[in-house]
């Protein structure tokens, strides 16, 4: 799964720590999501969407399937 | 480990040290004949009591973590369990054929704790590399 977390965070000039505080997770978790090492649960994905004020599908995209 | 988890780590260390201190105190008291035979079981179980607090603290610490940190702990605990189980089984098998000394359970538990701690730290380091 890919996401636009880093771009959205940069647009708001938030640090990873600041975003982590808003989401009530650790900075390492924000970093792992941004770098694609970890896919958040659905509740956390909804929290991220709420924090950025955007629909979830505009932040997260499914991985491309072969032949797409 | 996040900064808000530091107080709980100190609490866990406090329980571990309290257990060790009680074990030493009971051993000294037993050596000097200060524990009556009828209360021998109380003295023996006294150092175990803080371990209950230790695990209660550990449980509340894990509940306070976010989802990725919990996943890291779960995978680290699996590595800890696997390493410790293999070590104990292998040692037991070697002791059975007298390749290594057969250690009584009363002497084994400090090594068990050491194995649990070292394998947990190793597991954490391995799993953190995957996610962080």
Do B66 and A24 touch, CB atoms closer than 8 A? yes
Beta strands in B38-123 (DSSP E): none
pLDDT at B108: 84
If you average pLDDT over residues B10-23, what whole number do you get?
89
Sequence-separated (6 or more) residues with CB below 8 Å from residue B11: B57
Sequence-separated (6 or more) residues with CB below 8 Å from residue B72: B124, B127, B128, B131
pTM of the model: 0.81
| CA A14 to centroid of chain Cα atoms | 13
pLDDT at B1: 46
The pairs formed by B22-30 with CB atoms below 8 angstroms and a separation of 24 or more are: B22/B46, B22/B47, B22/B49, B22/B50, B23/B47
Q: Which of B2, B65, B131 sits opposite A32 (nearest CB)?
A: B131
Do A13 and B53 touch, CB atoms closer than 8 A? no
User: Is pLDDT of B70 > 90?
Assistant: yes
User: Is pLDDT of B6 > 60?
Assistant: yes
- Secondary structure percentages of chain A, helix, strand, coil, to 5: 55, 5, 40
How far is A61 from chain B, CA to nearest CA, in Å?
A: 20
B74 touching A (Cβ < 8 Å): no
If you average pLDDT over residues A16-42, what whole number do you get?
96
How far is A34 from chain B, CA to nearest CA, in Å?
A: 11
If you average pLDDT over residues B67-76, what whole number do you get?
95
pLDDT at B109: 81
Instruction: Give B32-51 pLDDT, tens digit per residue.
Output: 999 998 999 999 999 999 99
Sequence-separated (6 or more) residues with CB below 8 Å from residue B54: B12, B15, B16, B19
A42 touching B (Cβ < 8 Å): no
B132 touching A (Cβ < 8 Å): yes
Instruction: Give A37-68 pLDDT, tens digit per residue.
Output: 999 999 999 999 999 999 999 999 987 777 76
Instruction: Give B97-129 pLDDT, tens digit per residue.
Output: 999 999 888 788 888 889 999 999 999 999 999
pLDDT at B11: 87
User: Is pLDDT of A22 > 90?
Assistant: yes
Rounded CA gap, A43 and A22, in Å? 14
């Amino acid at each position: 799964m890919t996401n636009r977390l880093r771009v959205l965070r940069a647009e708001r000039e938030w640090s990873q720590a600041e975003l982590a505080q808003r989401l009530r997770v650790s900075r390492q978790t924000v970093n792992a999501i941004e770098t694609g090492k970890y896919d958040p649960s659905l509740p956390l994905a909804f929290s991220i969407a709420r924090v950025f004020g955007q629909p979830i599908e505009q932040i997260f995209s499914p991985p491309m399937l072969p032949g797409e | 480990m996040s900064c808000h988890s530091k107080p709980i780590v100190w609490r866990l260390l406090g329980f571990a040290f309290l257990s060790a201190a009680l074990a030493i105190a009971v051993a000294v008291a037993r050596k000097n004949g200060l524990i009556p035979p009828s209360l021998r079981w109380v003295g023996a179980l006294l150092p175990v009591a803080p371990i209950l607090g230790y695990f209660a603290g550990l449980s509340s610490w894990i509940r306070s973590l976010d989802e990725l940190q919990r996943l890291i702990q779960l995978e680290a605990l699996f590595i800890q369990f696997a390493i410790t189980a293999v070590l104990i089984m292998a040692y037991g098998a070697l002791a059975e054929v007298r390749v290594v000394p057969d250690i009584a359970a009363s002497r084994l538990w400090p090594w068990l704790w050491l194995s649990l701690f070292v394998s947990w730290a190793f597991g954490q380091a391995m799993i953190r590399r995957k996610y962080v």
